[in-house]
Amino acid sequence: MLNEHDLQGIYVPVVSPFTDEGLLDLASYRTYIRNIVSRDIQGLVINGTTGESPTVTWDEVAQMVLAARKVMDECKASLPIVVGTGTNDTMSSVQRTEAAAALGADAVLVVTPYYSRPSDSGIIEHFRRIAAVGIPVILYEVPLRTGIALSVDTIRRVLDIPGIIGMKDSTLTMQLMEQLAVYDTKPILCGHDLHFHDMLVRGAAGGILATANWNTDAFSRVYQFIKLGHYPQAEQQFSSIRPFLELLTQESNPAPMKWLLKHGGMIATDTLRLPMTPISEELKLKLTNMMHKF
């Protein structure tokens, strides 16, 4: 299982490949995972936002976890697997967390409860009950998708819960990272790809980065440069991929990433489950033109 000292580096949130008919495509998934685990990364995240967690069934999550383990065994790779188990219902989240533990997950990623807009005390108790399952928990703060932004005080109280080992910060500014950096807090992972370099400079331990599915080695180099104190090289490396990242965030994740992975032959289709739809023809053209520069 993961602990807070292990929670560093590049974690890749994987996509859930589908057939043209919208069924889970395990053949594509195995090929794709084999490619990802060969990179210099520190872990995988299954059933996160990038994996279309709102429309993937738990049975499909279980199949992907077991398939990823089998592929890693075949490749003689050993990477931790983090599974997204958070919902806006505490009981459901606890049950999914128990199921993830039974599958052998190394940690779970738990999003702030969405839609209900609970009180701070309700949010803290939500995480306390999930952490009581006994598998390490990573708090996932993403206000753009949940409709609620946690205060620094509430985040600190959640991070103080035994079993909570860190946090994925997917807020849209540096403010939260700067506020938390004042305290001796548990590891913070960047979840907003365009902020990766700036968050590392401010003390982030790494990132859970959707675009690391494609720019894996570049993100890894940025992380290693910062770790070694080579700040100009880190900034130069990140600046070189920034235009591509800006394109990839023009339309909702994971649609652009699925198109890229299909284009690169790693998955068979760029099919998404409604209400998500494939990227626009305009973005396809922009990405095609940009790819020739990399």
As annotated, the active-site residues are: 140, 168
The alpha carbon of 97 is separated from its chain's Cα centroid by a whole number of angstroms, namely 17
What CA dihedral angle connects 286, 288, 292 and 294, to 10 degrees?
80
Cα separation, 29 vs 70, in Å, equals 12
What SS3 class is residue 208?
A: strand
Read off φ and ψ for residue 239, nearest 5 degrees: -60, -30
Residue among 206, 216, 223, 218 at smallest CA distance from 260: 216
Query: Which two structure tokens, joined as six digits, stand for 121?
Result: 């005390």
User: Could you tell me the CA-to-CA distances from 79 to 138, 148, 225 in Å, in that order?
Assistant: 17, 32, 22
What CA dihedral angle connects 202, 207, 209 and 213, to 10 degrees?
130
